[in-house]
Amino acid sequence: MTGTTPEKFNEWLQEASLVIGAHSAACIRMDNPELRKQVEKNNALTAEWLQSGRQGEMDYLERLFAEKSNPWKTFPFAKSVIVLCFTNDWGAPDAKHPFPVPGKDALLGYISAYAKEKDYHTNGQTMLAALKEKLGDDVETEAAVDTKAVYERLFATVGGLGIIGGNDLLRVPGRTNVRVFIGCLFVGAELPEVILEPKMPFACDDCLACIKNCPTDAIQFGQPIDARKCISYLTIEKRSLLNREEGAMIEDWLFGCDWCSVVCPPKDKVDTRIPIDLEWLVKTPAGELRRLMKGNAVAYAGVTQLRKNAVVLLKKKVGSPKAEELLAWVRKNTGSELIRNQITAW
């Protein structure tokens, strides 16, 4: 592939990306001056964001900042990077999930639709492994799918795969929503560049649907997201107790939030969430839950985090005898100090 023309490589890359199940692909040379310019710009914004504390308890973002801020040092062998966008059936009506259907009168919590199908990390790694195979075994590569110190969205925008929406997600042409994932394959070969020109049907500042539909005001136009107000952060990343205000913020979510993504492009909310029976969640043996969640994005949160969130939802069902019975059962049977403390936190 190193000796081919840019046109032929572009044709090969787009065809290969579709064959392996991706939506689109770009290729950027690591010596591209625009890449360096955008990384430096993003470093300044990220440093300011971290200094403000808006990352909440996500301490790993600060630890990984040095590696993210210098991809040339983090991936010293790399001369090019191939960037893939893939949907993982996020938002597809017929997408499957491993969780049982709740009964008619069950007390419910909800999981984000992106937890349907196989964990996107796994699918993305599989696609990048297939792409590496097509490049040849003699080429050194390293894959990253939201698991390493990489500005994935930055690489995707420099490659022209889309634009960053008001909700900080990547919007891509040819999709009716913003819901895509990103994978990067760093390659130790000087590949021809493939920089696309995303033709978007409308600009974000003409819409603002994601901002208008964020129930916690975590998103403000032209500003970095305040993770401390984001439902996805509160239900997935905040591992300590939720206070009363945070408990109100998460609505009836157990894992993630879809409200800023299902309205893009501007349309009414479509409820693609996964409903979960709270009694099933708190009473099913933890080992059985872990086996069920294996290979699913929810496994990242873990059983204790989901049950902590379930306790918050039950505490908000004031006047519900069933909720009070479940809380009493959890208080008596849980082995988690965190969950016991969440019961009495407010």
Predicted local confidence at residue 237, as pLDDT: 98
Q: Are residues 251 and 275 in the same domain?
A: yes
Q: Can you count the helices (H) and strands (E) in the chain?
A: 15, 9
Domain membership of residue 54 (yes or no) is: yes
Domain membership of residue 245 (yes or no) is: yes
The answer to whether residue 82 scores a pLDDT higher than 90 is yes
- The model's pLDDT over 107-122, given as tens digits with 9 standing for 90+, comes to 999 999 989 878 889 9
Q: Choose the final residue of a domain: 205, 226, 252.
A: 205
Q: Are residues 190 and 157 in the same domain?
A: yes
Number of domains in the chain: 2
Q: How confident is the model at residue 173 (pLDDT cuts 50, 70, 90)?
A: confident
Q: Are residues 157 and 22 in the same domain?
A: yes
Q: CATH number of the domain at 155, please.
A: 3.40.109
- The model's pLDDT over 5-35, given as tens digits with 9 standing for 90+, comes to 888 999 999 999 999 999 999 999 999 999 9
Burial of 267 (0-12, 13-18, 19+ CB in 10 A): exposed
Q: Are residues 177 and 37 in the same domain?
A: yes
Q: Are residues 245 and 313 in the same domain?
A: yes
Map tokens 């349309």 to a residue: 267
Task: Give me the domain span that covers residue 295.
Answer: 207-344
Domain membership of residue 174 (yes or no) is: yes
Q: Choose the final residue of a domain: 189, 205, 221.
A: 205
Predicted local confidence at residue 261, as pLDDT: 87
The answer to whether residue 91 scores a pLDDT higher than 80 is no
Q: Are residues 135 and 275 in the same domain?
A: no
- The model's pLDDT over 35-76, given as tens digits with 9 standing for 90+, comes to 999 999 999 999 999 999 999 999 999 999 999 999 999 999
Give the separation between CA 308 and CA 190, rounded to whole angstroms.
49
Q: How confident is the model at residue 298 (pLDDT cuts 50, 70, 90)?
A: very high
Predicted local confidence at residue 179, as pLDDT: 77
Q: Are residues 16 and 164 in the same domain?
A: yes
Q: Are residues 35 and 139 in the same domain?
A: yes
Domain membership of residue 106 (yes or no) is: no
Domain membership of residue 128 (yes or no) is: yes
The answer to whether residue 98 scores a pLDDT higher than 70 is yes
Which amino acid, residue 251?
A: E
Alpha carbon separation from 155 to 8, 123, 322 (Å, rounded): 22, 19, 49
The answer to whether residue 177 scores a pLDDT higher than 60 is no
- The model's pLDDT over 181-231, given as tens digits with 9 standing for 90+, comes to 999 999 999 999 999 998 888 788 888 899 999 999 999 888 889 999 999
Q: Choose the final residue of a domain: 186, 205, 224.
A: 205
Q: Are residues 274 and 194 in the same domain?
A: no
Predicted local confidence at residue 221, as pLDDT: 83
Predicted local confidence at residue 199, as pLDDT: 87
Q: Are residues 178 and 70 in the same domain?
A: yes
Q: Are residues 25 and 152 in the same domain?
A: yes
What element of type H or E holds 61?
Answer: helix 59-63
The answer to whether residue 266 scores a pLDDT higher than 90 is no
Domain membership of residue 340 (yes or no) is: yes
Domain membership of residue 292 (yes or no) is: yes
What residues form DSSP beta bridges with 108? 277
Q: Are residues 286 and 306 in the same domain?
A: yes
Share of residues in the chain with pLDDT > 70 (%): 97
The answer to whether residue 312 scores a pLDDT higher than 90 is yes
